[in-house]
Amino acid sequence: MSSKESAEIALVAALQEDSVAAFDALYHMYFPAVYANILHLVKDEAAAQDIVQEVFIRLWEKRKLLHAGQPAGNWLFVVSYNRSLNYLRSSLRQRLKTAELAPDMAEPEQDEWQVTSIQLDMLERAIDQLPPQRKKVFLLCKMQGKTYAEAASELQISHYTVKEHIAKASRFIREYVRLQPEWQALVAVLPLFAKVLGN
């Protein structure tokens, strides 16, 4: 484990002990990457700003439930993904209602925290099975928001190698998740999630 990873895990531990300073440090560390991920999904800057604030509020509210010894990036990635899909689902529902195509379309009932926990567990298990270097590249680019060039410089590898690691890691994680029994249950309640993951 690198000194940076150790420092972040220490921040998570401090956050669980109600440290506002630790929360601020994690906020500044992850805000750019989380915002970029959300904007990529929702394609709306105002909505992305609202969602990213909701995500970090949720981080503070759920700080006691974070996985001990794990960086916060995985949790933030999953929660921001779910919040973004909820926004897209709500927007779609509103458009359908406006068009009078589905005036009685109901809000799907689900335990949001349970769904998030299942996804987080699957994601972390998949990431842990990546080869060490591929895992480092994936975490840098997907969880910490580093560009391929920044990751290449930090790890002293080529831009092409970073790109290959990301492609192979993403493919492995997608296939790993699809093979999990929990995923079959999620597909039933989150068809939009399944659709986006498949793209």
Condensed to tens digits (0 to 9), the pLDDT of residues 24-67 reads 999 999 999 899 888 887 888 999 999 999 999 999 999 988 87
pLDDT at 127: 84
Give the pLDDT score at 171: 87
Q: DSSP 3-state assignment of 35? A: helix
- Mean pLDDT, residues 99-111: 47
Residues 90 and 38 in one domain: yes
Neighbour-count burial of 82, counting CB atoms closer than 10 A to its CB (0-12 exposed, 13-18 middle, 19+ buried):
buried
Please report, as a single letter, which amino acid is at residue 103: P
d(CA 117, CA 173): 17
For the chain, what's the residue count?
199
Residues 66-83 pLDDT 10s: 877 778 888 888 888 888
Residues 2 and 86 in one domain: yes
pLDDT the model gives residue 104: 47
Is pTM beyond 0.85? Reply is no
What span, in angstroms and rounded, lies between the C-alpha atoms of 151 and 141?
A: 7
Q: Whole-angstrom distance between the N-terminal and C-terminal Cα of the chain? A: 32
Q: Count the domains in the chain.
A: 2
- CATH number of the domain that residue 163 is part of: 1.10.10.10
Residue 102: pLDDT band with limits 50, 70, 90: very low
CA distance 130 to 116: 21
For position 58, what pLDDT does the model report? 92
pLDDT at 107 over 90: no
From 107, 142, 172, the end of a domain falls on: 107
Tell me the C-alpha distance between 106 and 63, whole Å: 31
22 and 103, same structural domain? yes
78 and 143 both lie in a single domain: no
Do 143 and 80 touch, CB atoms closer than 8 A?
no
Q: Give the domain range for residue 121.
A: 113-199
pLDDT at 98: 58
> What is the rounded CA–CA span in Å between residue 172 and residue 130?
8
Write down which residue in 67, 86, 107 finishes a domain. Answer: 107
CATH of the domain at 63: 1.10.1740.10
pLDDT in tens, 140-199: 887 667 788 988 998 899 999 999 999 998 888 888 877 877 665 555 444 434 433 443
From 77, 107, 137, give the residue that closes a domain: 107
Q: Which tens digit of pLDDT belongs to each residue from 10-27?
A: 999 999 999 999 999 999
Residue-averaged pLDDT of the chain: 78
Predicted confidence at residue 116, as pLDDT, reads 60
